[in-house]
Amino acid sequence: MIKKFYLLAICFLILPLKVHALIEVDITRGNLSPLPLAVSPLSIDDKSKKSFELILKKENIGSEISIIVENNLRSSGLFNPLSKDAFLQAPDIANLKPRFEDWNLIKAQALITGKVTFVDEKLRVEFRLWDILAGKEMMALAFTTVPNNWRRVGHIISDKVYKRLTGEKGYFDTRIIYVAEQGPKTQRIKKLAIMDQDGANNKFLTLGNELVLTPRFNPTSQMVTYLSYFKNLPRVYLLDIETGTQEVVGDFPGMTFAPRFSPDGKKIIMSFAKNGKSDIYTMDLENRIVERITNHPSIDTSPSYSPNGKHIAFNSDRSGYQQIYTMKSNGADVKRISFGNGIYGTPVWSPRGDLIAFTKLHKGKFYIGVMRTDGSGERLLTENFYQEAPSWSPNGRVLIFYRETKTDAKGEGFSAKLWSIDLTGYNERLVVTPTDASDPSWSSLLSN
Amino acid sequence: MILSKIFKNTLLILVTCLVLSACATKRNVETGQMQSDVYTGTDSVEYLADGVPDRVFFATNESILTTASRETLRTQAGWLRKNSSINVVLEGHADERGTREYNLALGERRANSAKDYLMTYGISSDRISVLSYGKERPVDAGSNPLAWSKNRRSVTVKAN
């Protein structure tokens, strides 16, 4: 259904690079003064320009790629890409040797330049990152790939720049799977949808004939597990994004729901509801062996593995109300970790392993927050009428979640949208989708 | 045994009423459509047959049947005994004020609460299936306590 982008399709040619002590961006706290930088349009010769125009229907692919980089860096909240109107140097010359004084004059601290060429039916992009104050080249890389991958080239450049300037992996060459919503609140039509992290390349993966909920990627981001009401039997399914093959995996005599992959991708962990109680189970995808992990008369759901696979966080109402618990992956050593005021749910273990993101309901307001894995250090990042279901960016720096609006007295004005927020609690952003949207899940980094 | 359970449940409801009466809004008192926060009106109610209401309502986060709910379910059980060829699906629902996954489980628990009661009155479990919609199918699109109370429900639907 969707073409898998092979890593092989993009070849990295690392050009020589001299390392100096250069600019650094601190991302561990809210960044109130983002680093001013200039993203020069990638230069392109006339012949290449015409070739790409023919294939990609884009007038200047060099500018288009630089716009992707610019938008990505801006959306991170850590960088402030300056207006191109102020640039004094032409893209081709800047890429050879920037006149640092000119860039310094417009207060740019870093500069990204590059060049696009059409070589053997392929797109070749080289880019350079310059430290303006030090007057030095920080990084130079070149990629060759099929022309259709041009957006991904923009994302990969963004990831390289982010990593070079912050010291941490980026999250731009990623995708989001989510539930696209349409229709009145009482009769919502829901479809699985997938898009690039920046909202481009949106595709619907199901037709909307049956209700679908809570899609989640596997570690390689090629499979998705989700809940489908196919034939009015709510069951956990598996979808291969590349082939479009769907199969039921949680076909137990009752409802299976709240699925997620184990960090090695070999198991699905989910809830199974029967006779008014919900417990947590795993299924090994290879041999289909089912294991029961919890056994309690309460509702145990929303399980999420720690990145090393040794622990599971989940929510349970065994104490009377929904609270967050952790346990060993075999179900032993169950510990309640949420003790603040209110109801806690949807724990999701950070890819870095140190934090658990959650939804909290307190005095009629919903919060997205994080706590350490022992429940200490609770921090609420955002408050709203309704929001839930955080999902981590692969570098563990950003959370995506969905938010619903309050309807008016006539029951009108309902909407559901995706939002993202930094771990610092700053940089809250609407993630634009073609339709209403909920239940987002962030993929891993597609290239590395 | 059952009596003591019923007594216990009633006591629980009474306690809940006492606790919640403090925060019950004036509007609900005026409209008289909610008791504590269980819907008592008839707005969304449909009928399986003459005098046989199709649904029961629940307090926030609860799956305990109220006195009125038990009466409705006894009426349904009587009707099911008389119409022994009819099977039913109990569709459990939650309001929008909870996380999606928990609400799926809560809807299932509510429908099972109704199922258990029908079984107590002699309806075979073979004739009853349970389907939870969580918060996915509200009847009232409103974002207010009255709308939420209508949406916290278990609806008995003919399956054949």
- Please write the tens of the pLDDT for every residue from A223-239: 999 999 999 999 999 99
Q: Do B105 and A257 touch (CB under 8 A)?
A: yes
**What are the CA-CA distances from residue A140 to residues A16, A40, A103, A114, A414 (Å)?**
7, 15, 18, 9, 48
Cα–Cα distance, B36 to B17 (Å, whole number):
5
Report pLDDT for A250.
81
Report pLDDT for B32.
74
Tokens for A324?
């967050």
Interface membership of B64 toward A (CB under 8 Å):
no
* Mean pLDDT value across residues B8-32: 47
A188 interaction partners in chain B (CB closer than 8 Å) = 136
Report pLDDT for B36.
86
Residue A195: partners with Cβ closer than 8 Å, 6 or more residues away: A175, A176, A178, A201, A202, A203, A433
pLDDT band at B31 (very low <50, low <70, confident <90, very high): low
Report pLDDT for B153.
98
B148 interaction partners in chain A (CB closer than 8 Å) = none
A414 interaction partners in chain B (CB closer than 8 Å) = 141, 143
Interface membership of B119 toward A (CB under 8 Å):
no
Report pLDDT for A251.
86
Interface membership of B27 toward A (CB under 8 Å):
no
pTM here is 0.90
Interface membership of B86 toward A (CB under 8 Å):
no
Interface membership of B33 toward A (CB under 8 Å):
no
* Residue A15 confidence (pLDDT) above 70: no
CA distance A253 to chain B (A): 11
Q: Do B102 and A315 touch (CB under 8 A)?
A: yes
Closest chain A residue by Cα to residue B108:
A276
**What are the CA-CA distances from residue B152 to residues A139, A211, A388 (Å)?**
58, 19, 20
Residue pLDDT, tens place only, A63-88: 999 999 999 999 999 999 999 999 99
Q: Do B104 and A301 touch (CB under 8 A)?
A: yes
Domains of chain B, start order: 2-158 (3.30.1330.60)
Question: What average pLDDT is seen over chain A?
Answer: 93
Cβ atoms of A265 and A219 within 8 Å: the answer is yes
Report pLDDT for B16.
47
ipTM, two decimals, is 0.92
Closest chain B residue by Cα to residue A405:
B143
Interface membership of B138 toward A (CB under 8 Å):
yes
Domains of chain A, start order: 7-23+35-166 (3.40.50.10070), 175-442 (2.120.10.30)
* Mean pLDDT value across residues B92-107: 98
pLDDT > 70: what percent of chain A? 93
